[in-house]
Every structure is written in C-alpha cells, then in structure tokens.
Amino acid sequence: MRRYLWPLFAIILIAGTSCQQKVNIEKEKEAIMAVLREEGAATVAKDKERVFDVHVRDSTESRLELGIYGYNIYKGWDEVSALLDDFVGGGSQLTNPVNVKENVILKVAGNSAWLTCDNIWTWSVDGVQGGYNNIQIVFLEKIKGEWKISFTAYYTKPQPVEEFEVPID
C-alpha cells in the first residue's frame, strides 16, 4: 500500500498545480493601459465619477507630485479625491485637451502592477497651442477582477543628461 501512496501523491500534486489559471500578461497590460486611458478621457470629459472609479479609494491611496520648486504628498482617499475634484471640476477654458502615454514600462506581478511613462497633455486656449509633459509613475492593484490605481506620482521632466555640458579637465 505504501508503494502506491507516493506516486498517487505525486499525481495529485501535479494535477493540482497544472489546474491553476495561467495569467495572460499581455491581456493584463492591455487592461491596465485601458485604465490609464479611461482616467485621461474622464478628466477631459470633466467626469469626476469616472475618474474616481479607476482608483482604489481607500486610506492607503496616495499621490506624489514632484516639481522644480518642491513636492506635495496626498495621503488617503480623502486628500486624493479632494485634489482630483479640484483638478477635474476646475473651470478651465482649455479646448481639445488630449492625454497621451508614451515610453511605457509596465510590470505585472500577480494582483499588482507598476508602470512609468511620459504623460503628455496638449490643448489650445483661444487658438494658442499649449501643453506639458511629465513623468508618471503608477502602482495598481487588481480588486475583484478590475485594475485600480493605488498610487500615482508625477515628476517634472528634468533636462536629459546628454544635454548637460560636462567640464573635462
């Protein structure tokens, strides 16, 4: 009887592990990028409920904004939602705003993911083109099958290293 117990155990172990659902990383990456595009589209539409819907909305959510003059940290959904509400609900006169994500680096690890990208906004005001380009860093969590943003950081793009003049002695 003992002789059959180990092979039976091995068969059950192999069968159990092979039944685990395989994660399609490319499909997950597409879903994550759809969340980022939705956040941008909802911001353009000034629809704060849609913007809010792509976020975790709990006490652990946070946002970091780094600029040339300092930084701001927003901790918890109360602070982040107040910031988003001001930003999305603002009375700007922007025409044809567009948000594009370029140079995306994205890593999926189970039910969490992170990415970094160039966050590019363009618009016009009274026919004059405007915009800005910063670096965006995002952490996401998969909750009940949906990707949600739990952390976002925006970093003002510094001058590229190759543009600095380095003195040679």
The whole-number pLDDT of residue 67 equals: 78
Total domains, the chain: 1
Question: Domain range spanning residue 86?
Answer: 23-157
The pLDDT value recorded for residue 39 is 95
CATH of the domain at 73: 3.10.450.50
**70/73 Cα distance (integer angstroms):** 10
Whether 6 is covered by a domain: the verdict is: no
16, part of any domain: no
8 A C-beta contact, residue 137 and residue 159: no
Is 18 contained in some domain? no
| Residue 162 resides in a domain | no
Rounded CA-CA distance 77/121 in Å is 24
Q: Determine, yes or no, domain membership for 136.
A: yes
Question: Is 121 inside a domain boundary?
Answer: yes
pLDDT of residue 19: 54
Is 124 among the domain residues? yes
User: Looking at beta carbons, which pairs linking 52-55 to residues 24 or more positions away fall under 8 Å?
Assistant: 52/81, 52/84, 54/148, 54/149, 55/80, 55/81, 55/84, 55/148, 55/149, 55/150
pLDDT at 156: 87
Whole-number pLDDT of residue 11: 64
Per-residue pLDDT of the chain (169 residues; tens, 9 = 90+): 556 656 655 566 565 555 556 779 999 999 999 999 999 999 989 999 999 999 999 999 999 998 778 899 999 999 999 999 988 877 667 788 999 999 999 999 999 999 999 999 999 888 889 998 999 999 999 999 999 999 999 998 876 766 666 666 6
The answer to whether residue 39 is domain-embedded is yes
